[in-house]
Chain A
Amino acid sequence: MRMTYEELKGYNLLSKEERLVYNLLTLQHPDWSYSQLITQTKITSILELVVKESKDLNEAKVIITVLNEAKKWLIKFANISKDIISVLDNSINEVLKKDYLLSEHEREQYFYYKQSHPDWTHEQLIMMAKLTTMYDNDYTV
């Protein structure tokens, strides 16, 4: 089945293993659409993770999602001015920035989380290190 350009872009984002699954599914289900094939491929990957032994909650991933969803809500429904949203946006991006220089305390937190959560990405570790440090500091608004 030929893919559209958009579909091809989605296919290219799949990992090597996922592409193998996708290609196998095209043979097993020649009548399925791209959307059906990609969904089954993703769910097969999800199932691999579901049975993995370290099923600890990935708090960093949840927090990033909460912040992004809350931001979307603030923009759409809370009547918050664009200026504040842009401050919020920049601040969130700043926290998430990969190459952001860490303070000594943040670095300590980074390695603490790295040890306790060896599966986290660098980006997730940076975010948790920075957020935890911010919570440790007094803040005034």
Chain B
Amino acid sequence: MKEKKYDFMIQNLLAAILGNKVSKDDWNSIMGALDKEIKEKPFRVAVIGQSGVGKSTTLNAVFGLNNYVSDVAEGTTKIEEKVFPMRDGFNLSIYDMPGLNCDVDKDIEYEEMYKKILPGCDVIVYIINAHSRDLGEDCRILKEVVMPICNTNNLKDNFILAFNKIDTIGEMQDPNDEELKWDIINNVPTEKLKEAIKVKLNDLVTKLIDEKVIGGADSIKAEQVVFYSAVFNYNLGDFLMAITKAGKRGWIWTSTVGLENIGKWSDKVLR
């Protein structure tokens, strides 16, 4: 007898793997636990970044949102949870967080917000502009605010450091050099841009390692750093992998709708 296929990939995967190796009761208890975890709690994502880093495009590309537009006003001190129903009872919840700035009073308020919101999140994404000339402010925010909150609340593994806009690195160096522009037809960097991307990103990473934001005892690991272009949907696979490994529940995103959103695996396997 052919049993019904389940709602989500993880259930179908386990059904395929376990087959009839477990009793019906045991199978029901596994499915019950998964169903509860997937449907009763939304998958909570906090996205932090200065304005212009591409929070909206990242949310649209990576989390499959439809024309999401970030509406976090400069100086806002109230962050609302935005819940997006995905499918079959699974919800995605987004906290669109402003980046800190140099206003000391506001920064204290923001820090309090971060402290309240971040501990409830499954994934915390900090987005940096890959063509940034100066990482000073991002370094400070990461070192003095975000990482201490993550470390205190055992959230270090939930963290992803995301370098967006790698496609614009060449244009920022020389807007007139055609060879430094993204190859839109093949959706890959040109040969010259490849070199520019490697040099620029290595340079940025070196600064973050020097500051011990990455690579120190209490800092994030190489696997938690992703480089991508949300506009061109480039290298989103690495982003998905980082989400999968994030925290205790990162795999829930991938195994429900995450891989469907950006994957190409056949429908028969996914559903």
- A43 in complex: contacting residue of B186, B202, B268, CB < 8 Å: B202
Q: Assess the B269–A132 pair: CB atoms within 8 A.
A: yes
**Which residues of chain B from 184 to 223 have any CB-CB distance to chain A below 8 Å in the complex?**
186, 188-189, 194, 197-198, 201-202, 205-206, 209-210, 212, 214-217, 221-223
A51 contacts across to B, CB distance below 8 A: 189, 194, 197-198
Is B116 interfacial (CB-CB < 8 Å)?
no
A48 contacts across to B, CB distance below 8 A: 198
- A55 in complex: contacting residue of B24, B235, B241, B269, CB < 8 Å: B235
B214 contacts across to A, CB distance below 8 A: 39, 43
In the assembly, what is the distance between CA of A95 and CA of B21, in Å?
Answer: 14
Instruction: Bits for A49-79, please: 1 = Cβ < 8 Å to B, else 0.
Output: 0110101111101110111011011101111
Q: Assess the B255–A139 pair: CB atoms within 8 A.
A: no
Is B121 interfacial (CB-CB < 8 Å)?
no
Q: Interface extent on A, as a size class?
A: 35 or more
**Which residues of chain B from 68 to 88 have any CB-CB distance to chain A below 8 Å in the complex?**
none
Chain A nearest CB, measured from B49 CB (Å): 20
Is B39 interfacial (CB-CB < 8 Å)?
no
Q: Assess the B241–A62 pair: CB atoms within 8 A.
A: yes
In the assembly, what is the distance between CA of A50 and CA of B234, in Å?
Answer: 9
Q: In chain A, what residue has the closest Cβ to B36?
A: A78
In the assembly, what is the distance between CA of A76 and CA of B237, in Å?
Answer: 27
Q: Assess the A141–B20 pair: CB atoms within 8 A.
A: yes
Chain B nearest CB, measured from A13 CB (Å): 13
Is B251 interfacial (CB-CB < 8 Å)?
yes
In the assembly, what is the distance between CA of A45 and CA of B106, in Å?
Answer: 39
Chain A nearest CB, measured from B15 CB (Å): 6
Which A residues have a C-beta under 8 Å from some C-beta of B?
A: 29, 32-33, 35-40, 42-44, 46-48, 50-51, 53, 55-59, 61-63, 65-67, 69-70, 72-74, 76-81, 83-84, 87-88, 91-92, 95, 131-132, 134-136, 138-141
Q: A56-B264, A138-B1, A141-B18 are in contact. List 4 more A-B contacts (CB 8 A).
A: A46-B225, A69-B250, A79-B33, A139-B15
Which B residues have a C-beta under 8 Å from some C-beta of A?
A: 1-3, 9-10, 12-22, 24, 26-27, 29-30, 33-34, 37, 166, 186, 188-189, 194, 197-198, 201-202, 205-206, 209-210, 212, 214-217, 221-223, 225, 227, 234-238, 240-241, 244-245, 248-251, 254-255, 259, 262-266, 268-269
A-B contact pairs, 17 of them (CB 8 A): A35-B217, A39-B221, A40-B206, A47-B202, A50-B197, A53-B188, A56-B237, A56-B264, A58-B237, A62-B244, A62-B259, A65-B244, A72-B248, A91-B18, A139-B19, A140-B19, A141-B20
